[in-house]
Amino acid sequence: MLLIFDCDGVLVDSEPLSCRIDAEILTECGVPYTAEDVARDFTGVSIKDQIARIESERGTRLPADFTERLNRTLFQRFETELKPIPGVREAILALPFRRCVASSSIPERIALSLRVTGLADLFDTIFSSTQVARGKPAPDLFLHAARQMNARPEDCLVVEDSMAGVQAAIAAGMRVIGFAGGGHCGPDHAENLRRAGAPIVINRMADLPGTVQELA
């Protein structure tokens, strides 16, 4: 079995920080958003798809340097403020299966996130939505990861915190565990993941090893 981990909100508790910064930069660009708006609309979505949706829905064009400004600010704050999801290292080390990361973030952000949280040594392989035509909720990223890891979709188990990610895993023909223990997860998050199609949702990383073993 191949375990495929999302990064933001599953391995690292980045969503509250990144949503806040995203909203700040968007508002500075004249497109007002709150952190709650960003969390609701764009959790698990690639920056490319986020920009396209904002420009379509708001009838505007974001500055050409929007992505650069956003990433520069995020990277600076991640260096000092980013933390791992509690218990995630211990949970991963308790699982004897092959593993990789497949995230909507750009490769540089994934690598930085894993480094500053002390998780980089757990993953030899990371995959980014920049490597495929369509981001989540399309299945492209997860299917790409499976191909590169020489695994059949039916032999993959995805751990995801976003509705888009859950939908992508199911569209790829993979099993999925929803995770609702990140700092951005409100009281309805677990139910939203179930509604997106996750048959099992956990709230603590301590529950991951037992859940995975039951599905193996």
The DSSP symbol for 85 reads: P
Convert the pLDDT of each residue in 125-134 to its tens digit.
999 999 999 9
pLDDT at 39: 87
How crowded is the C-beta side of 14, counted as CA atoms within 13 Å? Answer: 29
Catalytic site residues?
6
Question: Before 199, cis peptide (omega within 30)?
Answer: no
pLDDT at 216: 85
CB atoms within 10 A of CB 169: 31
H-only helix segments in the chain: 15-28, 35-42, 47-58, 66-81, 88-93, 107-116, 140-148, 163-171, 189-196, 208-215
Does the domain made of 2-14+83-215 have the CATH classification 3.40.50.720? no
Convert the pLDDT of each residue in 132-190 to its tens digit.
999 999 999 999 999 999 999 999 999 999 999 999 999 999 999 999 999 889 899 99
Domain segments of the chain: what residues?
A: 2-14+83-215, 15-81
Residue 159 identity: V
pLDDT at 40: 86
Q: Which fold has domain 15-81?
A: DNA polymerase; domain 1 (1.10.150)
> Is residue 92's pLDDT more than 90?
yes
Q: Which two tokens stand for residue 186?
A: 């409100």
pLDDT at 171: 98
